[in-house]
Homo-oligomer: A and B are copies of this chain.
């Protein structure tokens, strides 16, 4: 069995900041060295897959292994850089565990960008963006992708709409009865889009009216039951990828 297959089977994949190319040396952070040598019990010569979000995936070999540091030698490219479709998730932060869940799912389900938004009914007022970004990196390591979506700076709802980029459709998960089923409503969609998920309690009547008045908004429903915000996010992203994204 080749090194590459061993690495694939072991599924040790690490995100690194460094540029990746053949012959390159990569220094591990303290956390990565602890994980690789302490938790996963790897030693000199062990294969590891690396990606940095820009240069695809590369096979590397452990060259030095210490308790708090380590060095890898980059050997060869194992996958080209792949970009997911130009989709964003815009969501209102909810409780910690469910917010973590949402950003993890957004990465696995192939979003380009994750944008937190504070709406009228959003309870959470602070967001540890660095913690969410670390969560996204972990999801990217696990899901085998070569791209890592950014968790953007949270913005208020008004600001979000005022600065909204022209040409990007907003798929608005609307709880009112007259919106169309999502799979049908996004079937003809081409070009950039964003899924917008409200907090528990939904959008205020004013927010919903402002959204419905816009030309670039597609109101959609997600079935007859009331979904929690994290369920709605996972469901909507899966449908978007299935109907208009890279799951076809």
CB distance from A201 to the nearest CB of B (A): 9
A247 interface hit (Cβ, 8 Å)? yes
Contact A247 B144, beta carbon cutoff 8 Å: no
Instruction: Tell yes or no: A126 within 8 A of B by CB.
Output: no
| A224 engages B82 (CB within 8 Å) | yes
Copies of this chain, tallied across the complex: 2
A222 touches B235 (CB 8 A): no
User: Is A208 engaged at the interface, CB distance under 8 Å to the other chain?
Assistant: no
Number of interface residues of A (CB under 8 A): 38
Q: In the complex, which residues 100-137 of chain A have their Cβ closer than 8 Å to any Cβ of chain B?
A: 101, 104-105, 108-110
Is residue A143 contacting chain B, with contact meaning CB distance below 8 A?
yes
How would residues 199 to 239 of chain A score, 1 for a CB under 8 Å from any chain B CB and 0 otherwise?
A: 00000000000000000000001111111100100111111
Asked if A243 CB lies within 8 Å of chain B CBs, one says yes
